[in-house]
Structure 1
């Protein structure tokens, strides 16, 4: 099995990570499943910003690991979780880079949520 390439963020594909402003909450299946004042905002190239929430601030008992996996050459291998309370749309709704590449090491131990697969992601 060939190793995936590791790409380093730079001027042609910038990635920045900074603390999110204020409190971030995630609602799914009508319940708050994440509530954090320690979330990170990752901005990558021309993509929409993504909020990464520390695992300690997520109700992990509401998530179920899935077999899905993807690879980003800039961030590494992602694993996924579903939110059973969110129904069919919440399958593979959450992802995490368990051992991200060094350039984005700050997102280790954090989870991100697809906005269209949860009820709401709020920043206050």
Structure 2
């Protein structure tokens, strides 16, 4: 667990989600290389979900992000745009998303992206390897800092 940080119960997180600045060291590896390293991120905290980390776009290695067509809408954050992640011959389709025009209350997410940790080779937070949230829709990052149960697994859609 991150030094000096209490374990958080995801059922105490609010809805609509809160956004919290984080100084944790986040490292993302893909295709055998480190594609991102930062101590400046945001955690989006929503009831029943492990945090989703939003990372500075400018911290991503050059050439990794390739914009793709299509959007989705989050009732809270706004319209999301998607990116493939490309490292050499490795392509992760729609592996990351951004909010180019975040709704009020989520403006700090501008110029930040979220990604699916389960589609990367490895993601760490303060040196701890992240476990991906179950399911193919959510992008939560499970560490020893959070406790569940977590939405996303089969049978949890109605939670």
CA distance in 2 between counterparts of 1:12 and 1:74 reads 12
Partner of 2:15: 13
Q: TM-score, normalised by structure 2?
A: 0.65
Partner of 2:78: 76
Among candidates 103, 106, 109, match of residue 107 of structure 1: 109
Partner of 1:42: 44
The two structures, once aligned, show a CA RMSD in angstroms of 1.9
Partner of 1:120: 122
CA distance in 2 between counterparts of 1:80 and 1:62 reads 13
The structure with the largest helix share of the pair is: 1
CA distance in 2 between counterparts of 1:76 and 1:60 reads 26
Aligned residues, how many?
A: 113
Among candidates 49, 64, 67, match of residue 65 of structure 1: 67
Q: Residues 62 and 12 of structure 1: is their aligned pair in 2 closer, same or farther, counting only changes over 3 Å?
A: closer
Contact 1:64 1:84 in 2 (8 A): yes
Kindly state the Cα deviation for residue 92 of structure 1 after the two structures are TM-superposed. 0.4
Gaps of 5+ in 2: 1-12, 127-159
Contact 1:27 1:33 in 2 (8 A): yes
CA distance in 1 between counterparts of 2:31 and 2:16 reads 34
Partner of 1:87: 90
SS of residue in 2 equivalent to 1:78: strand
1:30 lines up with 2:41 in the alignment: no
Which stretches of structure 1, 4 residues or more, deviate above 3 A after TM superposition?
none
Q: TM-score, normalised by structure 1?
A: 0.82
Partner of 1:3: none
Q: Residues 18 and 12 of structure 1: is their aligned pair in 2 closer, same or farther, counting only changes over 3 Å?
A: closer
